[in-house]
Amino acid sequence: MEVGKIKQVPLREIWKREDSDFTVWLENNIDYLNDVLDFEVTIEEREKRVGSFSLDLYGDDGMGGKVIIENQLEKTDHDHLGKVLTYLTNLDAHRAIWITPKPREEHGRAIDWLNEYTPGDIAFYLVKLEAIRIGDHPVAAPQFTVVKGPSEQIKQIGQEKKDSAARDAIRREFWGHFLERMAEKGDLYSGQKPPSIAWMSHGLGMSGININVYCTRKYVKGEVYLSKGMAEDNKRIFDHFHDQRGDIEGAFGEPLEWERLDDGIHSRIKHQLDGVGWDNREDWPSIIEFLIDTAIRLHRAFSGPTKQLKADW
């Protein structure tokens, strides 16, 4: 078995700008952040105005409370700490999330103090953002880690670790069933181990073009995800596929959802099923069949156009 070495990837190789690249990406891929939180954020607005200021992301925590998210692609500073407090108080939010690749120790202590002395229904999160790549694999994966959380969370850390471990175990079990069933249908995703995250990826023969299968609590999907480092490359690939939309959807067997995502770096073409999730075991058989069928049909529909693109690239 081949073992790869994890490499850190500079964030600005993936997202050139914090506002137009990373914030847009996070809006469209909020599940990556939700995976490490003890609640689920639903994004309602990007660049929400607060007087003369502009909040990166504004959303709902699923329990009637509002969430503000402030992003940085550099180490924490006093300016962003002030913004976090300004947005939370002016928008009457209950949760504040501050994302950064380099949290300073003194700002971590400030977050601890805020969690200790603010009312019980207010919570502050300091989240570290990293990007990793295994060996020479072309796809980099974002990695979020909660560095500081509310005092209630700290007091209950033992229980939360158990809950997190249970969730990871359920996901590994789900993907284990998926891989067993997939092995009966073909060799897509062969050689992979069941992950504890919400998605699995399989290359289409050209770097930056992958078939992802994704399972969350609320929906499942299969997608062709375009993840080259430069936005113009992904839009060029998307347009190449879109020009053949009729043939591709004919080969797939039904219409697909085409998301060029002009405000972000990446693009996707997806087939999604709503109203089902991994936490309901009764849904597993139908979910797995949906994901396998979607992945196989996406591979069939996009293999030819991808080979043509690779030859002309």
The per-residue pLDDT for range 182-215, each reduced to its tens digit, is: 999 888 888 899 998 888 999 999 999 999 999 9
Go through the domains of the chain in sequence order and give each one's CATH number: 6-155 (3.40.1350.10), 161-312 (3.30.1460)
CA angle 297, 298, 304 (to 5 degrees): 105
pLDDT at res. 155 = 46
**77 contact partners, CB below 8 Å, separation of at least 6:** none
Q: Which long-range contacts (CB under 8 A, 24 or more apart) does 298-303 make?
A: 298/211, 298/222, 298/223, 298/224, 298/252, 298/271, 299/188, 299/202, 299/204, 299/211, 300/251, 300/252, 301/248, 301/249, 301/251, 301/252, 302/204, 302/209, 302/211, 302/224, 302/241, 302/248, 303/204, 303/205
pTM above 0.85, yes or no: no
Q: What amino acid is encoded at 165 in this protein?
A: A
DSSP E strand stretches across 15-167:
42-50, 53-60, 66-71, 95-100, 123-134, 141-148
- Angle subtended by helix axes 231-242 and 284-312, to nearest 10: 100
DSSP state of 217: S
Which residue positions in the chain have pLDDT lower than 70?
1-6, 134-139, 151-162
pLDDT at res. 25 = 94
Residue with tokens 């709503």: 274
- What Å distances lie between residue 257 and 16, 222, 270, CA to CA? 27, 11, 5
Tokens encoding 121 = 């229904």
Q: What amino acid is encoded at 293 in this protein?
A: D
According to DSSP, the residues that pair with 148 across neighbouring strands are 126
Tokens encoding 86 = 């300004």
Instruction: Please tell me the distance from the alpha carbon of residue 296 to that of residue 170, in angstroms, as a whole number.
Output: 24
pLDDT at res. 159 = 52
Residue with tokens 């284990």: 176
DSSP state of 20: I
Instruction: Please tell me the distance from the alpha carbon of residue 110 to that of residue 65, in angstroms, as a whole number.
Output: 22
Q: Count Cβ atoms below 10 Å from residue 18 Cβ, excluding itself.
A: 16
- φ/ψ of 271, rounded to 5, equals -130, 115
Q: What amino acid is encoded at 111 in this protein?
A: I
